[in-house]
Amino acid sequence: MGRSLQLGDKVVLERQHLQHLLDVLSKRGYRILGPTVRDQAIVYDEVRSLEDLPAGWTDEQNAGTYRLKKRADNALFGYVVGPHSWKKFLLQPDVRLWQAKSDETGLKTVESKEERPRSAFIGVRSCELHAIAVQDKVFMAGEYVDPSYKSRRENLFVVAVNCVQAGGTCFCTSMKTGPKATFGFDLAITEIVNTEPHYLLVEAGTETGAAVLSEVAHREASEEEKAAAEGAVEECSRQMGRTLSTAGIKELLYRNYENPRWEDVASRCLTCGNCTMVCPTCFCTTVEDYTDLSGQLAERRRRMDVCFTMDFSYIHGGSIRYSPKARYRQWMTHKLATWIDQFGVLGCVGCGRCITWCPVAIDITEEARAIRESELSHGTVT
């Protein structure tokens, strides 16, 4: 340890000192959430020690394919992203909006207790920081602020991890959302495994991050170690196999509402909704009212929902998106076009989850490319 660290400082933690960081965060009252292996996938859940992290595991991904494999080293963050995203902790999947009780004195609204959970997310990738920023716009930027989301968001400590290997379905480089974390973190780790012993280069992104890091066993980073971390992230960017051209994407999709490609993708899409459930930015919800059998207790709840169901667009007598074509088209057009009108940003951060977890391997980058190329081949666009 030694001097107090400042915002922007970069230091080296030996692998085992990450446990010290977890202990410091725990002592400060944070619930530690991070990657762990469960059901043959890397998921996000409560972690208590280094033992819970996916040491020595990597994920092999392609369209419709996900496999865990052992690595030749003991990397703690040697995987990319799994089926979970951080939204499950920020955007609660089931929230009571209000509750009312009736008794002999009449109907009264029951006050809910204000929750202010303090969480520390360990291992947030750059694309995921962008996804959290997108949901911040949805739930905190406008006139209507979501109190449940806001309280979770404001009490969050973020430990980002810079990607040093690209996943098989990632395309963050073309979405300008990665692989290096550039904002939204308290600490950012780059894990360097090709040295003995392997180490973590850690950067303080906030004053709180610097204060936490000052309490953890560390040493100064040499210029070579800083350069090695930069080089590893740049190499990751070069490895990325998929791209999605965002040039004029909103106008492209608006012009192509009747493109035959929508029929083509609909003939493959099962409308299972997996793509929306794994997507870190999708936020569809439904509202349901309940009354108990005595008729004395009523409540309204908000639950996560999926825009691929018929019910989601059901209004007085029928669904307005009754065909798979209409549902896939609205999902992709929302991600890449209407989202821009609503929130000023794209709704896709290029994490690749919807490609990996689609059971029939539908690839959003391929679908967007096919629509763009169909215009070019018909000479309808310059």
Q: Please give the residue ranges that form the binding site for ligand SF4 (CB under 6 A).
A: 269-275, 278-281, 308, 335, 348-354, 358-360, 362, 364
- Min. distance of Cβ 23 from ligand SF4 in angstroms? 33
- Min. distance of Cβ 240 from ligand SF4 in angstroms? 12
Of the pair 141, 360, the CB lying nearest ligand SF4 is at 360
Contact 65, 75 (CB under 8 A): no
Tell me which residue of 71, 90, 93, 75 sits closest to 35, measured CA to CA.
75
Q: What is the dihedral of CA 289, 292, 293, 294, to 10 degrees?
A: -120
Of the pair 209, 347, the CB lying nearest ligand SF4 is at 347
Query: Please, which residues bridge with residue 314 across strands?
Result: 319
Of the pair 174, 208, the CB lying nearest ligand SF4 is at 174
Of the pair 181, 275, the CB lying nearest ligand SF4 is at 275
- Min. distance of Cβ 108 from ligand SF4 in angstroms? 42
- Min. distance of Cβ 288 from ligand SF4 in angstroms? 23
DSSP string, 270-298: ----HHHHH-SS---EEEEEEE-TTSSEE
- Min. distance of Cβ 347 from ligand SF4 in angstroms? 7
Of the pair 61, 165, the CB lying nearest ligand SF4 is at 61
Give the helix ranges, DSSP H, for the chain.
17-27, 87-90, 126-140, 147-154, 172-175, 207-214, 223-239, 249-255, 261-268, 274-278, 324-333, 339-343, 353-356, 364-378
- Min. distance of Cβ 170 from ligand SF4 in angstroms? 8
Number of H helices, E strands in the chain: 14, 16
Of the pair 151, 285, the CB lying nearest ligand SF4 is at 285
Distance CA 172, CA 126 (A): 8
DSSP string, 74-102: --SS-S---S--THHHHS-SEEEEEEEEE
Cα–Cα distances in Å, from 202 out to 186, 187, 219, 261, 343?
10, 7, 10, 46, 32
Of the pair 145, 270, the CB lying nearest ligand SF4 is at 270
Tell me which residue of 315, 338, 327 sits closest to 362, measured CA to CA.
327
Structure-token pair, residue 335: 């991600």
Host H or E run for residue 166: none
Tell me which residue of 122, 133, 189, 127 sits closest to 157, measured CA to CA.
122
- Min. distance of Cβ 351 from ligand SF4 in angstroms? 4
- Count CA within 13 A, CB hemisphere, residue 267: 4
- Min. distance of Cβ 77 from ligand SF4 in angstroms? 19
Residue type for position 10: K
- Min. distance of Cβ 181 from ligand SF4 in angstroms? 16
Of the pair 58, 274, the CB lying nearest ligand SF4 is at 274
Of the pair 193, 278, the CB lying nearest ligand SF4 is at 278
Cis peptide bond prior to 197, omega within 30° of 0: yes
Of the pair 266, 298, the CB lying nearest ligand SF4 is at 266
- Min. distance of Cβ 357 from ligand SF4 in angstroms? 6
